[in-house]
């Protein structure tokens, strides 16, 4: 499966041999590869796909051995997952759908001891920081609950505050969002804001 675009290297390239091994999920194939390569190949880094608890455990284990780890993520809509990967010891984060050149750049910087994040991931983290600065922790908590579809009255009960207090928080958030140019007139737009704030 070779593509003629910048995401797939042109021949000859070691990535073409490594990718099937990395992506193969058949246990016997993986065990066979492990046995064949044991003692021969000493990887100086690790490429982990995803942000599942198991993937984060692999990141922690490799980081504890002093190996640089780069985590591939499918999207940038969950910056919390990116932060968790970095907190687990990852030295880099790249997009699974990004270019080979960008991945190699992130890997090279991680191997050099730097923390490297792909441009799109970095932009999303910057946006998250900017958005979080607009709202207080309590406002974000109200929004998190309200964005799940709970009525304001239920949000008030959960937070042990009055209904008017919840309405005031929502009103303040809408005013702040409006100043920042973020639409929040509908409940759907508030849910989108909650997603952008990584509250869902």
Q: Does one domain contain both 73 and 125?
A: yes
* Cα 69 from Cα 92, distance rounded (Å): 7
Contacts by residues 27-30 (CB-CB < 8 Å, ≥ 24 positions apart): none
Q: What is the pLDDT of residues 1-55, one digit of tens each?
A: 444 445 444 554 444 444 444 545 566 666 666 666 666 556 667 777 776 777 7
Q: How far apart are CA 130 and CA 196, in angstroms?
A: 11
Shared-domain flag, residues 68 and 80: yes
Count of domains observed in the chain: 3
* Residue-number span of the structural domain to which 53 is assigned: 44-133
Based on the domain organization, do 55 and 127 belong to the same domain? yes
Q: Where are the beta strands (DSSP E) in 27-131?
A: 46-49, 69-73, 92-95, 116-117
* Last residue within a domain, chosen from 87, 104, 133: 133
Whether the pTM exceeds 0.75: the reply is: no
Q: Answer whether 58's CB lies under 8 Å from 81's CB.
A: no
Within this chain, do residues 1 and 17 fall inside the same structural domain, yes or no? yes
For the stretch 61-72, pLDDT in tens is 888 888 777 776
Q: What are 142-174's pLDDT values in tens digits?
A: 999 999 999 999 999 999 999 999 999 999 999
Which H or E element spans position 146? helix 137-146
* Same domain, yes or no: 52 and 118: yes
């Amino acid at each position: 499966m070779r593509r003629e675009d910048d995401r797939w290297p042109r021949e000859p390239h070691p990535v073409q041999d490594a990718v099937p091994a990395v992506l193969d999920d058949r246990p016997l194939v993986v065990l066979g590869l492990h046995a064949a390569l044991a003692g021969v190949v000493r990887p100086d880094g690790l490429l982990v796909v995803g942000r599942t608890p198991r993937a984060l455990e692999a990141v922690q284990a490799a980081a504890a051995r002093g190996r640089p780890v780069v985590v591939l993520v499918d999207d940038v809509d969950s910056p919390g997952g990116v932060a968790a990967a970095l907190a687990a010891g990852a030295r880099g984060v790249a997009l699974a759908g990004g270019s080979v050149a960008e991945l190699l750049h992130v890997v090279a910087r991680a191997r050099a001891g730097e923390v490297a994040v792909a441009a799109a991931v970095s932009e999303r983290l910057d946006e998250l920081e900017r958005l979080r600065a607009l709202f207080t922790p309590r406002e974000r908590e109200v929004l998190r609950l309200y964005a799940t579809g709970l009525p304001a009255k239920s949000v008030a009960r959960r937070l042990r505050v009055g209904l008017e207090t919840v309405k005031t928080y929502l009103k303040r958030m809408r005013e702040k969002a409006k100043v920042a140019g973020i639409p929040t007139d509908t409940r759907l737009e508030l849910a989108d804001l909650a997603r952008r704030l990584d509250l869902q």
